[in-house]
Amino acid sequence: MPTRLATLHPATRRLLITWAVLMGLTLVTMFSARLGGDARLQALPLWSAGLLLLSTAFKAHQVLMTYLGLRDASAAWRGAFIGLVLFTLLLVASGYLLAQLGG
């Protein structure tokens, strides 16, 4: 007997699976950020910040490809948007590393 997910249109199934993966990565990000308690006053350890940025990069890629439809766009559009996301993440990572070295 096929599951409900298997009976959906392939595009709808892709959207739902992508949404579930994004929600799971959001939970991973929340747990790695050490929310609550005394941890609010401390900087994230390097592994946690790296996991957060990696998760964010994957999530941004999925949103661009699945929800904005860049999977079907030209290579120039895909490259431009992915380049902007990577540049933004590089700026965030640089700021974090500068704060760690300066503090």
Residues 6+ apart with CB under 8 A from 15: 66, 67
Average pLDDT of 68-88?
94
Please, what is the average pLDDT of the chain? Answer: 85
User: Structure pTM?
Assistant: 0.74
CA distance 45 to 50: 9
CA distance 54 to 48: 10
Short-list 37, 47, 51, 44, CA closest to 103: 44
CA distance 31 to 81: 28
Name the 3-class secondary structure at 34.
coil
Highest mean pLDDT among 13-27, 42-56, 70-84: 70-84
